[in-house]
Structure 1
Amino acid sequence: MPFGLCNAPATFERLMERVLNGIPRDRCVVYLDDLLVHASDFGGALKNLREVFSAIRQAGLRLNPAKCNLMARDTMFLGHVVSGQGVATDPGKVAAVKDWPTPTTISELRSFLGLVSYYRRFVRNFASIASPLHRLTEKGRAFGWTQACDAAFQQLKMALVDTPVLAYPYPQQPFILDTDASNVGVGAVLSQREGGAERVVAYYSCSLNRAERNYCVTRRELLAVILAVRHFRPYLLGSQFLLRTDHASLTWLLTFRQPEGQVARWLEVLQEYRFEVQHRPGHRHANADALSRRPCAEGLCRHCQRQEEREGSGPAMVV
Protein backbone atom coordinates (compact mmCIF):
# COMPACT_ATOMS: atom_id res chain seq x y z
CA MET A 1 0.00 0.00 0.00
CA PRO A 2 1.50 3.38 -0.99
CA PHE A 3 2.25 5.94 1.71
CA GLY A 4 0.42 9.23 1.90
CA LEU A 5 -3.12 8.11 1.04
CA CYS A 6 -5.64 9.59 3.46
CA ASN A 7 -7.59 6.32 3.65
CA ALA A 8 -4.52 4.08 3.99
CA PRO A 9 -4.64 3.75 7.82
CA ALA A 10 -8.33 2.84 7.87
CA THR A 11 -7.89 0.35 5.02
CA PHE A 12 -4.92 -1.33 6.71
CA GLU A 13 -6.71 -1.47 10.06
CA ARG A 14 -9.73 -3.06 8.40
CA LEU A 15 -7.43 -5.67 6.84
CA MET A 16 -5.81 -6.54 10.17
CA GLU A 17 -9.19 -6.73 11.91
CA ARG A 18 -10.37 -9.15 9.23
CA VAL A 19 -7.21 -11.27 9.45
CA LEU A 20 -7.44 -11.57 13.25
CA ASN A 21 -11.23 -11.66 13.42
CA GLY A 22 -11.39 -15.09 15.05
CA ILE A 23 -9.02 -14.20 17.90
CA PRO A 24 -10.63 -12.60 20.99
CA ARG A 25 -9.38 -9.23 22.22
CA ASP A 26 -8.35 -10.77 25.53
CA ARG A 27 -5.63 -12.62 23.62
CA CYS A 28 -4.55 -10.18 20.91
CA VAL A 29 -4.95 -6.42 20.49
CA VAL A 30 -4.22 -4.84 17.11
CA TYR A 31 -3.71 -1.23 16.05
CA LEU A 32 -2.54 -0.90 12.44
CA ASP A 33 0.79 -2.78 12.32
CA ASP A 34 1.20 -3.03 16.10
CA LEU A 35 0.12 -6.36 17.62
CA LEU A 36 0.00 -7.07 21.34
CA VAL A 37 -0.38 -10.79 22.11
CA HIS A 38 -0.75 -11.38 25.83
CA ALA A 39 -1.44 -14.12 28.36
CA SER A 40 -1.14 -14.73 32.09
CA ASP A 41 1.45 -17.52 31.79
CA PHE A 42 4.08 -18.95 29.43
CA GLY A 43 1.89 -21.78 28.14
CA GLY A 44 -0.94 -19.42 27.34
CA ALA A 45 1.45 -17.06 25.57
CA LEU A 46 2.72 -19.90 23.33
CA LYS A 47 -0.82 -20.94 22.47
CA ASN A 48 -1.88 -17.39 21.61
CA LEU A 49 1.24 -16.79 19.52
CA ARG A 50 0.61 -19.93 17.48
CA GLU A 51 -2.94 -18.77 16.83
CA VAL A 52 -1.80 -15.31 15.71
CA PHE A 53 1.06 -16.64 13.57
CA SER A 54 -1.32 -19.09 11.88
CA ALA A 55 -3.81 -16.32 11.04
CA ILE A 56 -1.07 -14.08 9.62
CA ARG A 57 0.40 -16.94 7.58
CA GLN A 58 -3.00 -17.82 6.10
CA ALA A 59 -3.47 -14.18 5.06
CA GLY A 60 -0.15 -14.20 3.20
CA LEU A 61 1.41 -11.56 5.46
CA ARG A 62 4.89 -11.51 6.94
CA LEU A 63 6.35 -10.25 10.21
CA ASN A 64 9.73 -8.55 10.59
CA PRO A 65 11.68 -10.59 13.21
CA ALA A 66 13.76 -7.54 14.12
CA LYS A 67 10.60 -5.74 15.24
CA CYS A 68 9.18 -8.65 17.24
CA ASN A 69 9.56 -8.77 21.03
CA LEU A 70 8.58 -12.22 22.28
CA MET A 71 7.89 -13.46 25.82
CA ALA A 72 8.48 -10.05 27.39
CA ARG A 73 7.24 -9.20 30.88
CA ASP A 74 6.76 -5.59 29.81
CA THR A 75 6.67 -3.89 26.44
CA MET A 76 6.01 -0.58 24.73
CA PHE A 77 2.63 -0.25 23.02
CA LEU A 78 1.22 2.96 21.57
CA GLY A 79 3.30 5.21 23.79
CA HIS A 80 2.61 3.23 26.97
CA VAL A 81 4.56 0.68 28.98
CA VAL A 82 2.37 -2.40 29.43
CA SER A 83 3.35 -4.85 32.18
CA GLY A 84 1.87 -7.22 34.71
CA GLN A 85 1.48 -4.35 37.18
CA GLY A 86 -0.58 -2.16 34.85
CA VAL A 87 -0.16 0.61 32.29
CA ALA A 88 2.45 3.37 32.65
CA THR A 89 3.63 6.31 30.58
CA ASP A 90 6.50 6.07 28.10
CA PRO A 91 9.71 7.20 29.90
CA GLY A 92 10.99 8.69 26.64
CA LYS A 93 7.91 10.88 26.25
CA VAL A 94 8.06 11.86 29.92
CA ALA A 95 11.70 12.91 29.52
CA ALA A 96 10.73 15.04 26.52
CA VAL A 97 8.04 16.76 28.59
CA LYS A 98 10.41 17.31 31.52
CA ASP A 99 12.99 19.02 29.27
CA TRP A 100 10.41 21.03 27.29
CA PRO A 101 11.42 24.72 27.18
CA THR A 102 8.95 27.45 28.09
CA PRO A 103 6.74 28.09 25.02
CA THR A 104 7.21 31.46 23.35
CA THR A 105 4.51 31.11 20.67
CA ILE A 106 1.01 29.66 20.42
CA SER A 107 2.34 26.97 18.06
CA GLU A 108 4.90 25.81 20.63
CA LEU A 109 2.26 25.83 23.37
CA ARG A 110 -0.14 23.75 21.27
CA SER A 111 2.62 21.22 20.60
CA PHE A 112 3.24 20.89 24.33
CA LEU A 113 -0.47 20.57 25.13
CA GLY A 114 -0.86 17.96 22.40
CA LEU A 115 1.86 15.80 23.95
CA VAL A 116 0.71 16.04 27.57
CA SER A 117 -2.97 15.64 26.61
CA TYR A 118 -2.17 12.17 25.28
CA TYR A 119 -1.46 11.14 28.88
CA ARG A 120 -4.28 13.10 30.53
CA ARG A 121 -5.88 9.95 31.92
CA PHE A 122 -2.79 9.57 34.12
CA VAL A 123 -3.10 13.08 35.58
CA ARG A 124 -5.66 13.95 38.22
CA ASN A 125 -7.58 17.17 37.43
CA PHE A 126 -5.72 17.65 34.15
CA ALA A 127 -8.30 20.07 32.72
CA SER A 128 -8.22 22.34 35.76
CA ILE A 129 -4.43 22.42 35.82
CA ALA A 130 -4.16 23.14 32.08
CA SER A 131 -6.98 25.70 32.05
CA PRO A 132 -4.70 28.82 31.94
CA LEU A 133 -2.76 27.31 29.03
CA HIS A 134 -5.86 26.38 27.06
CA ARG A 135 -7.26 29.89 27.50
CA LEU A 136 -4.06 31.23 25.98
CA THR A 137 -4.74 29.28 22.77
CA GLU A 138 -8.23 30.71 22.25
CA LYS A 139 -8.90 32.39 18.93
CA GLY A 140 -8.27 36.12 18.96
CA ARG A 141 -6.34 36.11 22.24
CA ALA A 142 -2.89 37.68 22.22
CA PHE A 143 -0.08 35.44 23.44
CA GLY A 144 1.02 36.67 26.85
CA TRP A 145 2.86 34.33 29.21
CA THR A 146 1.77 35.03 32.79
CA GLN A 147 2.70 33.65 36.19
CA ALA A 148 -0.48 31.53 36.14
CA CYS A 149 0.55 30.06 32.78
CA ASP A 150 4.04 29.29 34.03
CA ALA A 151 2.67 27.68 37.19
CA ALA A 152 0.33 25.49 35.12
CA PHE A 153 3.18 24.63 32.73
CA GLN A 154 5.48 23.52 35.55
CA GLN A 155 2.69 21.66 37.36
CA LEU A 156 1.85 19.66 34.24
CA LYS A 157 5.49 18.74 33.75
CA MET A 158 5.78 17.53 37.34
CA ALA A 159 2.48 15.66 37.10
CA LEU A 160 3.73 13.72 34.07
CA VAL A 161 6.96 12.85 35.85
CA ASP A 162 5.07 11.41 38.85
CA THR A 163 2.28 9.59 37.00
CA PRO A 164 0.98 6.39 38.64
CA VAL A 165 0.83 2.93 37.11
CA LEU A 166 -2.83 2.52 36.17
CA ALA A 167 -4.47 -0.78 37.01
CA TYR A 168 -6.13 -3.04 34.47
CA PRO A 169 -9.93 -3.01 34.66
CA TYR A 170 -11.68 -6.25 35.59
CA PRO A 171 -15.27 -6.20 34.26
CA GLN A 172 -16.36 -8.98 36.63
CA GLN A 173 -15.51 -6.82 39.66
CA PRO A 174 -17.43 -3.67 40.73
CA PHE A 175 -16.02 -0.26 39.86
CA ILE A 176 -15.77 2.80 42.08
CA LEU A 177 -16.44 6.21 40.52
CA ASP A 178 -15.48 9.33 42.47
CA THR A 179 -16.65 12.65 41.01
CA ASP A 180 -16.21 16.26 42.01
CA ALA A 181 -16.69 19.73 40.52
CA SER A 182 -15.29 23.20 41.04
CA ASN A 183 -16.26 26.52 39.51
CA VAL A 184 -13.87 25.94 36.58
CA GLY A 185 -13.97 22.20 35.86
CA VAL A 186 -15.00 18.69 36.83
CA GLY A 187 -12.93 15.67 37.74
CA ALA A 188 -13.48 11.95 38.19
CA VAL A 189 -11.51 8.88 39.22
CA LEU A 190 -12.38 5.35 38.15
CA SER A 191 -10.91 2.68 40.41
CA GLN A 192 -11.31 -0.88 41.64
CA ARG A 193 -10.34 -2.71 44.79
CA GLU A 194 -7.39 -5.03 44.36
CA GLY A 195 -5.70 -6.87 47.18
CA GLY A 196 -7.51 -4.86 49.84
CA ALA A 197 -6.55 -1.50 48.34
CA GLU A 198 -8.07 0.80 45.73
CA ARG A 199 -6.14 1.13 42.47
CA VAL A 200 -6.81 3.83 39.89
CA VAL A 201 -7.95 2.61 36.47
CA ALA A 202 -8.14 6.08 34.88
CA TYR A 203 -8.56 9.77 35.62
CA TYR A 204 -10.96 12.09 33.80
CA SER A 205 -11.37 15.84 33.81
CA CYS A 206 -12.72 18.61 31.61
CA SER A 207 -13.21 22.36 31.79
CA LEU A 208 -16.61 24.00 32.13
CA ASN A 209 -17.88 26.46 29.57
CA ARG A 210 -19.27 29.86 30.52
CA ALA A 211 -22.86 28.66 30.86
CA GLU A 212 -21.88 25.67 32.99
CA ARG A 213 -19.84 27.88 35.33
CA ASN A 214 -23.07 29.68 36.21
CA TYR A 215 -24.70 26.48 37.50
CA CYS A 216 -25.23 26.20 41.23
CA VAL A 217 -22.91 23.84 43.11
CA THR A 218 -25.44 20.99 43.14
CA ARG A 219 -26.02 21.21 39.41
CA ARG A 220 -22.30 21.28 38.68
CA GLU A 221 -21.82 18.20 40.84
CA LEU A 222 -24.56 16.40 38.91
CA LEU A 223 -22.96 17.50 35.63
CA ALA A 224 -19.68 15.96 36.84
CA VAL A 225 -21.48 12.63 37.32
CA ILE A 226 -23.07 12.80 33.86
CA LEU A 227 -19.81 13.64 32.09
CA ALA A 228 -17.93 10.95 34.02
CA VAL A 229 -20.38 8.11 33.29
CA ARG A 230 -20.45 9.10 29.62
CA HIS A 231 -16.66 9.08 29.46
CA PHE A 232 -16.35 5.74 31.28
CA ARG A 233 -19.40 4.22 29.59
CA PRO A 234 -17.45 1.22 28.13
CA TYR A 235 -16.45 0.26 31.68
CA LEU A 236 -19.65 1.09 33.57
CA LEU A 237 -22.48 0.07 31.27
CA GLY A 238 -23.81 -3.29 32.39
CA SER A 239 -21.67 -3.32 35.54
CA GLN A 240 -22.56 -2.50 39.13
CA PHE A 241 -20.55 0.43 40.49
CA LEU A 242 -20.32 2.66 43.53
CA LEU A 243 -20.73 6.40 42.93
CA ARG A 244 -19.03 8.46 45.63
CA THR A 245 -19.52 12.19 46.07
CA ASP A 246 -18.66 14.75 48.72
CA HIS A 247 -21.81 16.77 47.99
CA ALA A 248 -24.68 15.63 50.23
CA SER A 249 -27.34 17.46 48.20
CA LEU A 250 -26.42 15.38 45.16
CA THR A 251 -27.65 12.22 46.88
CA TRP A 252 -30.99 13.95 47.33
CA LEU A 253 -31.08 15.20 43.74
CA LEU A 254 -30.72 11.65 42.41
CA THR A 255 -33.90 10.60 44.22
CA PHE A 256 -36.24 13.10 42.53
CA ARG A 257 -39.61 11.51 41.78
CA GLN A 258 -40.79 14.20 39.36
CA PRO A 259 -37.70 15.81 37.81
CA GLU A 260 -38.08 18.41 35.11
CA GLY A 261 -36.05 20.11 32.41
CA GLN A 262 -32.32 19.61 32.36
CA VAL A 263 -32.26 17.54 35.54
CA ALA A 264 -34.86 15.17 34.07
CA ARG A 265 -32.71 14.64 30.97
CA TRP A 266 -29.62 14.01 33.06
CA LEU A 267 -31.37 11.56 35.36
CA GLU A 268 -32.68 9.74 32.29
CA VAL A 269 -29.08 9.20 31.21
CA LEU A 270 -28.31 7.62 34.59
CA GLN A 271 -31.21 5.17 34.23
CA GLU A 272 -28.99 3.07 31.93
CA TYR A 273 -26.59 2.30 34.76
CA ARG A 274 -26.70 0.19 37.92
CA PHE A 275 -25.09 1.99 40.83
CA GLU A 276 -25.48 3.05 44.42
CA VAL A 277 -24.61 6.50 45.75
CA GLN A 278 -22.45 7.08 48.78
CA HIS A 279 -21.68 10.43 50.39
CA ARG A 280 -18.09 10.89 51.49
CA PRO A 281 -16.84 13.93 53.46
CA GLY A 282 -14.65 16.34 51.51
CA HIS A 283 -11.48 15.62 53.50
CA ARG A 284 -11.74 11.97 52.40
CA HIS A 285 -12.62 12.83 48.81
CA ALA A 286 -9.29 14.30 47.74
CA ASN A 287 -8.74 11.81 44.91
CA ALA A 288 -11.48 13.41 42.80
CA ASP A 289 -11.27 16.91 44.23
CA ALA A 290 -11.08 19.68 41.64
CA LEU A 291 -9.25 22.94 42.19
CA SER A 292 -11.58 24.26 44.85
CA ARG A 293 -15.03 23.85 46.27
CA ARG A 294 -17.09 26.65 47.73
CA PRO A 295 -20.77 26.68 48.76
CA CYS A 296 -23.31 28.49 46.63
CA ALA A 297 -23.61 32.02 48.07
CA GLU A 298 -27.38 31.98 47.68
CA GLY A 299 -27.93 28.33 48.68
CA LEU A 300 -29.83 26.39 46.03
CA CYS A 301 -30.35 28.02 42.64
CA ARG A 302 -33.91 28.86 41.65
CA HIS A 303 -34.22 25.65 39.60
CA CYS A 304 -33.16 23.41 42.50
CA GLN A 305 -35.26 25.47 44.94
CA ARG A 306 -38.35 24.99 42.77
CA GLN A 307 -37.65 21.26 42.49
CA GLU A 308 -37.29 21.01 46.27
CA GLU A 309 -40.68 22.65 46.71
CA ARG A 310 -42.23 20.22 44.19
CA GLU A 311 -40.74 17.20 45.96
CA GLY A 312 -41.79 18.50 49.36
CA SER A 313 -38.65 17.29 51.11
CA GLY A 314 -35.11 18.33 51.78
CA PRO A 315 -31.85 16.58 51.12
CA ALA A 316 -31.78 12.87 51.92
CA MET A 317 -28.80 10.57 52.12
CA VAL A 318 -28.76 7.54 49.83
CA VAL A 319 -26.11 4.93 50.57
Structure 2
Amino acid sequence: QIKPQVEKVKAIQSIPRPKTRKQVRSFLGLVGWYRRFIPHFSTLAAPLTELTKKSNSKVRWNDDCELAFQSLKKQICRAPVLQCPDFSKPFVVQVDASNVGLGAVLAQGRAGEEKPVLFLSKKLFDRQKRYSTVEKEGLAIKWAVDSLKYYLLGREFILQTDHRPLLWMQSKQHQNARIMCWCLALQPYQFTIQHCPGKKNLIADYLSRLPEMC
Protein backbone atom coordinates (compact mmCIF):
# COMPACT_ATOMS: atom_id res chain seq x y z
CA GLN A 1 0.00 0.00 0.00
CA ILE A 2 1.26 3.48 -0.90
CA LYS A 3 -0.12 6.98 -0.81
CA PRO A 4 -2.53 7.47 -3.72
CA GLN A 5 -1.53 9.48 -6.76
CA VAL A 6 -3.51 12.66 -7.38
CA GLU A 7 -5.26 11.37 -10.51
CA LYS A 8 -6.49 8.30 -8.64
CA VAL A 9 -8.49 10.31 -6.14
CA LYS A 10 -9.41 13.38 -8.18
CA ALA A 11 -13.04 12.27 -8.47
CA ILE A 12 -13.33 12.13 -4.68
CA GLN A 13 -11.42 15.35 -4.02
CA SER A 14 -13.70 17.22 -6.42
CA ILE A 15 -16.90 16.31 -4.55
CA PRO A 16 -18.69 19.62 -3.87
CA ARG A 17 -20.14 20.52 -0.50
CA PRO A 18 -23.58 18.93 -0.04
CA LYS A 19 -26.42 21.44 -0.33
CA THR A 20 -29.38 19.27 0.63
CA ARG A 21 -30.11 16.66 3.28
CA LYS A 22 -30.32 14.03 0.55
CA GLN A 23 -26.85 14.96 -0.70
CA VAL A 24 -25.48 14.77 2.86
CA ARG A 25 -26.95 11.27 3.20
CA SER A 26 -25.42 10.23 -0.12
CA PHE A 27 -22.00 11.49 0.92
CA LEU A 28 -22.22 9.66 4.24
CA GLY A 29 -23.21 6.52 2.35
CA LEU A 30 -20.12 6.88 0.18
CA VAL A 31 -17.61 7.31 3.01
CA GLY A 32 -19.52 4.90 5.24
CA TRP A 33 -18.81 2.11 2.78
CA TYR A 34 -15.17 2.32 3.90
CA ARG A 35 -15.79 3.13 7.55
CA ARG A 36 -13.87 0.06 8.72
CA PHE A 37 -10.71 1.66 7.28
CA ILE A 38 -11.33 5.13 8.77
CA PRO A 39 -10.31 5.58 12.43
CA HIS A 40 -12.97 7.19 14.64
CA PHE A 41 -15.40 7.32 11.73
CA SER A 42 -18.52 7.96 13.81
CA THR A 43 -16.86 10.85 15.64
CA LEU A 44 -15.57 12.40 12.43
CA ALA A 45 -18.95 12.10 10.73
CA ALA A 46 -21.04 13.27 13.70
CA PRO A 47 -21.62 16.89 12.51
CA LEU A 48 -22.84 15.61 9.13
CA THR A 49 -24.94 12.85 10.66
CA GLU A 50 -26.69 15.53 12.72
CA LEU A 51 -27.74 17.26 9.49
CA THR A 52 -29.64 14.18 8.32
CA LYS A 53 -32.07 14.13 11.23
CA LYS A 54 -35.68 14.74 10.26
CA SER A 55 -35.95 17.64 12.67
CA ASN A 56 -33.43 19.51 10.54
CA SER A 57 -35.46 20.56 7.50
CA LYS A 58 -32.63 22.75 6.19
CA VAL A 59 -28.92 22.10 5.90
CA ARG A 60 -27.28 24.56 8.27
CA TRP A 61 -23.65 24.23 7.27
CA ASN A 62 -21.13 25.42 9.85
CA ASP A 63 -17.40 25.16 10.53
CA ASP A 64 -17.79 21.77 12.21
CA CYS A 65 -19.62 20.42 9.14
CA GLU A 66 -16.94 21.76 6.82
CA LEU A 67 -14.18 20.23 8.94
CA ALA A 68 -15.97 16.87 8.99
CA PHE A 69 -16.59 17.00 5.23
CA GLN A 70 -12.97 17.80 4.35
CA SER A 71 -11.58 15.33 6.90
CA LEU A 72 -13.67 12.45 5.58
CA LYS A 73 -12.69 13.20 1.98
CA LYS A 74 -9.06 13.25 3.05
CA GLN A 75 -9.41 9.96 4.94
CA ILE A 76 -11.00 8.10 2.04
CA CYS A 77 -8.16 9.21 -0.25
CA ARG A 78 -5.33 7.94 1.93
CA ALA A 79 -3.87 4.56 2.77
CA PRO A 80 -5.08 2.17 4.09
CA VAL A 81 -8.39 2.98 2.33
CA LEU A 82 -6.83 3.21 -1.12
CA GLN A 83 -4.89 0.12 -2.16
CA CYS A 84 -1.81 -0.16 -4.34
CA PRO A 85 -2.66 -2.40 -7.34
CA ASP A 86 -1.43 -6.00 -7.12
CA PHE A 87 -1.10 -7.30 -10.68
CA SER A 88 -0.87 -10.89 -9.46
CA LYS A 89 -4.49 -10.72 -8.28
CA PRO A 90 -7.72 -10.12 -10.26
CA PHE A 91 -9.31 -6.69 -10.48
CA VAL A 92 -12.96 -5.78 -10.02
CA VAL A 93 -14.42 -2.88 -12.01
CA GLN A 94 -17.67 -1.40 -10.68
CA VAL A 95 -19.50 0.88 -13.11
CA ASP A 96 -22.69 2.92 -13.13
CA ALA A 97 -24.39 5.63 -15.18
CA SER A 98 -26.86 8.35 -14.25
CA ASN A 99 -28.67 10.92 -16.37
CA VAL A 100 -25.72 13.31 -16.03
CA GLY A 101 -22.54 11.26 -15.72
CA LEU A 102 -20.58 8.03 -15.47
CA GLY A 103 -18.80 6.57 -12.46
CA ALA A 104 -16.37 3.71 -11.92
CA VAL A 105 -14.24 2.14 -9.21
CA LEU A 106 -11.26 -0.15 -9.74
CA ALA A 107 -10.95 -2.44 -6.73
CA GLN A 108 -9.29 -5.59 -5.41
CA GLY A 109 -9.95 -7.93 -2.52
CA ARG A 110 -12.28 -10.64 -1.31
CA ALA A 111 -15.94 -10.40 -2.29
CA GLY A 112 -17.66 -7.89 -0.07
CA GLU A 113 -14.35 -6.57 1.25
CA GLU A 114 -12.93 -4.99 -1.90
CA LYS A 115 -10.64 -2.00 -1.40
CA PRO A 116 -10.50 0.73 -4.06
CA VAL A 117 -7.43 1.24 -6.23
CA LEU A 118 -8.78 4.35 -7.93
CA PHE A 119 -11.97 6.31 -8.57
CA LEU A 120 -13.26 7.69 -11.90
CA SER A 121 -16.03 10.13 -12.79
CA LYS A 122 -17.07 11.70 -16.10
CA LYS A 123 -19.75 14.16 -17.17
CA LEU A 124 -21.98 13.14 -20.07
CA PHE A 125 -22.10 15.25 -23.22
CA ASP A 126 -25.54 16.57 -24.17
CA ARG A 127 -25.93 14.01 -26.96
CA GLN A 128 -25.07 11.19 -24.55
CA LYS A 129 -27.73 12.36 -22.10
CA ARG A 130 -30.28 11.40 -24.77
CA TYR A 131 -29.11 7.77 -24.81
CA SER A 132 -31.46 5.12 -23.46
CA THR A 133 -30.76 3.73 -19.99
CA VAL A 134 -29.17 0.57 -21.36
CA GLU A 135 -27.02 2.63 -23.75
CA LYS A 136 -25.79 4.83 -20.91
CA GLU A 137 -24.88 1.77 -18.86
CA GLY A 138 -23.15 0.25 -21.89
CA LEU A 139 -21.25 3.50 -22.42
CA ALA A 140 -20.17 3.41 -18.77
CA ILE A 141 -18.66 -0.04 -19.30
CA LYS A 142 -16.85 0.98 -22.50
CA TRP A 143 -15.54 4.22 -20.94
CA ALA A 144 -14.41 2.55 -17.70
CA VAL A 145 -12.57 -0.29 -19.43
CA ASP A 146 -10.88 2.12 -21.85
CA SER A 147 -9.86 4.40 -18.97
CA LEU A 148 -8.41 1.44 -17.05
CA LYS A 149 -6.70 -0.19 -20.03
CA TYR A 150 -3.29 -0.18 -18.32
CA TYR A 151 -4.64 -2.30 -15.47
CA LEU A 152 -6.96 -4.59 -17.41
CA LEU A 153 -5.57 -5.48 -20.84
CA GLY A 154 -4.19 -9.00 -20.89
CA ARG A 155 -5.71 -9.89 -17.50
CA GLU A 156 -8.98 -11.51 -16.47
CA PHE A 157 -11.23 -9.25 -14.42
CA ILE A 158 -14.78 -8.95 -13.12
CA LEU A 159 -17.03 -6.15 -14.32
CA GLN A 160 -19.94 -5.30 -12.04
CA THR A 161 -23.03 -3.34 -13.11
CA ASP A 162 -26.37 -2.80 -11.41
CA HIS A 163 -28.15 -2.95 -14.78
CA ARG A 164 -29.19 -6.58 -15.23
CA PRO A 165 -29.99 -6.33 -19.00
CA LEU A 166 -26.28 -5.73 -19.68
CA LEU A 167 -25.45 -9.28 -18.62
CA TRP A 168 -25.99 -10.33 -22.23
CA MET A 169 -23.42 -7.79 -23.48
CA GLN A 170 -20.67 -10.40 -23.78
CA SER A 171 -22.84 -12.52 -26.06
CA LYS A 172 -22.58 -9.74 -28.68
CA GLN A 173 -26.13 -10.54 -29.79
CA HIS A 174 -27.95 -7.25 -29.93
CA GLN A 175 -29.63 -5.22 -32.65
CA ASN A 176 -28.53 -1.86 -31.24
CA ALA A 177 -25.68 -0.74 -33.52
CA ARG A 178 -24.13 1.51 -30.89
CA ILE A 179 -23.96 -1.27 -28.29
CA MET A 180 -22.70 -3.76 -30.88
CA CYS A 181 -19.87 -1.35 -31.70
CA TRP A 182 -18.91 -1.16 -28.02
CA CYS A 183 -19.05 -4.96 -27.73
CA LEU A 184 -16.61 -5.31 -30.60
CA ALA A 185 -14.29 -2.71 -29.07
CA LEU A 186 -14.24 -4.74 -25.83
CA GLN A 187 -13.26 -8.01 -27.52
CA PRO A 188 -9.54 -7.72 -26.62
CA TYR A 189 -10.46 -7.81 -22.91
CA GLN A 190 -11.08 -10.91 -20.79
CA PHE A 191 -13.85 -10.22 -18.31
CA THR A 192 -16.97 -11.61 -16.71
CA ILE A 193 -20.00 -9.37 -16.20
CA GLN A 194 -21.78 -9.68 -12.85
CA HIS A 195 -25.01 -8.09 -11.72
CA CYS A 196 -24.33 -5.94 -8.66
CA PRO A 197 -27.49 -4.62 -6.90
CA GLY A 198 -27.60 -0.86 -6.46
CA LYS A 199 -27.00 -1.06 -2.70
CA LYS A 200 -23.69 -2.84 -3.36
CA ASN A 201 -22.75 -0.60 -6.28
CA LEU A 202 -23.05 2.52 -4.14
CA ILE A 203 -19.65 4.10 -4.88
CA ALA A 204 -19.85 3.97 -8.68
CA ASP A 205 -23.45 5.20 -8.48
CA TYR A 206 -22.41 8.18 -6.35
CA LEU A 207 -19.54 9.08 -8.70
CA SER A 208 -21.87 8.97 -11.72
CA ARG A 209 -24.05 11.63 -10.07
CA LEU A 210 -21.25 14.06 -9.19
CA PRO A 211 -21.90 16.35 -12.22
CA GLU A 212 -25.47 16.81 -10.96
CA MET A 213 -24.14 18.23 -7.68
CA CYS A 214 -21.55 20.59 -9.15
Give the TM interval when normalised to the shorter protein: 0.5 to 0.7
1:216 to partner: Cα distance: 1.1
Change (3 A) 1:263 1:122: same
1:87-106 map, 5 Å: 87-88=3-4
Residue number among 97, 102, 106 corresponding to 1:190 in the alignment: 106
Change (3 A) 1:267 1:259: farther
CA distance in 1, matches of 2:205, 2:114: 17
1:296-311 map, 5 Å: none
The answer as to 2:173 corresponding to 1:257 is: yes
CA distance in 2, matches of 1:218, 1:264: 12
Change (3 A) 1:178 1:196: closer
The answer as to 2:74 corresponding to 1:161 is: yes
Give the corresponding residue for 1:30: none
Q: TM-score, normalised by structure 1?
A: 0.44
Change (3 A) 1:195 1:247: closer
CA distance in 2, matches of 1:282, 1:195: 16
Change (3 A) 1:192 1:291: closer
Give the AA of the match of 1:188. Answer: A
Check whether the contact 2:85–2:117 (CA below 8 A) recurs between aligned residues.
yes
Give the corresponding residue for 1:222: 138
Cα shift readout 1:133-162 (whole Å, capped 9, x = no counterpart): xxxxxxxxxxxxxxxxx9xxx798566433
Check whether the contact 1:124–1:187 (CA below 8 A) recurs between aligned residues.
no
Q: What RMSD over aligned residues (CA atoms) do the two structures have, in Å? A: 3.0
Check whether the contact 2:93–2:106 (CA below 8 A) recurs between aligned residues.
yes
Residue ranges of structure 1 left out of the alignment (5+ in a row): 1-84, 90-118, 131-149, 294-319
Q: TM-score, normalised by structure 2?
A: 0.63
The answer as to 2:195 corresponding to 1:279 is: yes
Change (3 A) 1:281 1:184: same
Change (3 A) 1:126 1:225: farther
Check whether the contact 1:86–1:167 (CA below 8 A) recurs between aligned residues.
yes
CA distance in 2, matches of 1:269, 1:160: 35
Give the corresponding residue for 1:211: 127
CA distance in 2, matches of 1:169, 1:121: 11
What fraction of aligned residue pairs are identical, expressed as a percent? 34
Residue number among 140, 159, 182 corresponding to 1:266 in the alignment: 182
What secondary structure, in the 3-state scheme, does the structure 2 residue paired with 1:86 have? coil
Check whether the contact 1:226–1:270 (CA below 8 A) recurs between aligned residues.
yes
Residue ranges of structure 2 left out of the alignment (5+ in a row): 17-60, 210-214
What secondary structure, in the 3-state scheme, does the structure 2 residue paired with 1:215 have? coil
CA distance in 2, matches of 1:221, 1:196: 22
The answer as to 2:176 corresponding to 1:289 is: no
1:1-319 map, 5 Å: 85-88=1-4, 119-122=6-9, 129=15, 157=70, 160-162=73-75, 163-165=77-79, 166-193=82-109, 197-290=113-206
CA distance in 2, matches of 1:262, 1:180: 18
Cα shift readout 1:203-247 (whole Å, capped 9, x = no counterpart): 111100000011111110110111100010000000000011111
CA distance in 1, matches of 2:135, 2:9: 27
CA distance in 2, matches of 1:125, 1:180: 16
Q: Which has the larger radius of gyration?
A: 1
Give the corresponding residue for 1:48: none
